[in-house]
Amino acid sequence: MPTIVVDVMPKPELLDPQGKAVTGAFARLGVTSFSEVRIGKRFELTVDGEVTDELLAEVRTLAADVLSNSVIEDVVGVEVAE
Amino acid sequence: MPTIVVDVMPKPELLDPQGKAVTGAFARLGVTSFSEVRIGKRFELTVDGEVTDELLAEVRTLAADVLSNSVIEDVVGVEVAE
């Protein structure tokens, strides 16, 4: 069955405490290749049926209204996975 | 600067309470197009420098050892984003 993937990330201008914690862990482990880590969410919606343009439009609306908090997060991707 | 994206999802055989909550919210909203919702994590690692094969190998190791809990989660993707 097809899956639609929705990616949601914290807004770039906001602090991401989870990401900062990982950045700190990397530093303590001696990993220095990364200047920043940010952590967001990945939603996998299993579609019951076929992926149509209307369904994708519905997913975009749901992503903006239900799956993300537009005050602190951005929807960075809506893609059909398989 | 290039970004490496690491996607981590709960193992398919395990219950995902967050995803179940979203599935329930969809049902209450009258959205019936999706049979399942699962929620995982998306890590964006900003690379300080160039993306090499060694760096990608390091990211794969970090993804398995630090960014995911292999008891309950799978690393489903490691990709260079831009």
Other CB atoms within 10 Å distance of the CB of residue A55:
18
CA distance A70 to chain B (A): 17
pLDDT for the residue A20? 96
Tell me what the mean pLDDT of segment A71-81 comes to.
96
pLDDT reported for residue A51? 93
- Rounded mean pLDDT, A59-63: 96
pLDDT at B39: 97
Is the pLDDT reported for residue A82 higher than 80?
no
The per-residue pLDDT for range B9-49, each reduced to its tens digit, is 999 999 999 999 999 999 999 999 999 999 999 999 999 88
How confident is residue A1, by pLDDT bands cut at 50, 70 and 90?
confident
Catalogue all structural domains in chain A, each as residue range(s) with its CATH number: 3-80 (3.30.1280.10)
The pLDDT, as a whole number, for residue B19 is 96
pLDDT band at B1 (very low <50, low <70, confident <90, very high): confident
Query: Any chain A CB within 8 A of the CB of B67?
Result: yes
Question: Does the beta-carbon distance from B26 to A66 stay under 8 Å?
Answer: yes
> In this complex, do A35 and B47 lie within 8 Å of one another by their Cβ atoms?
yes
Q: Which long-range contacts (CB under 8 A, 24 or more apart) does A14-17 make?
A: A14/A72
Strand order of the sheet with strand A34-47? Answer: A73-80, A3-10, A34-47, B34-47, B3-10, B73-80
Q: Give this complex's ipTM.
A: 0.93
Question: Can you tell me the distance from the alpha carbon of B72 to that of B13, in angstroms, rounded to the nearest whole number?
Answer: 9
How many CB pairs (< 8 A) connect A and B?
94
Task: Give the C-alpha separation, A10 to A29, whole Å.
Answer: 25
Predicted confidence at residue B18, as pLDDT, reads 94
Q: What is the pLDDT of residues B38-77, one digit of tens each?
A: 999 999 999 988 999 999 999 999 999 999 999 999 999 9
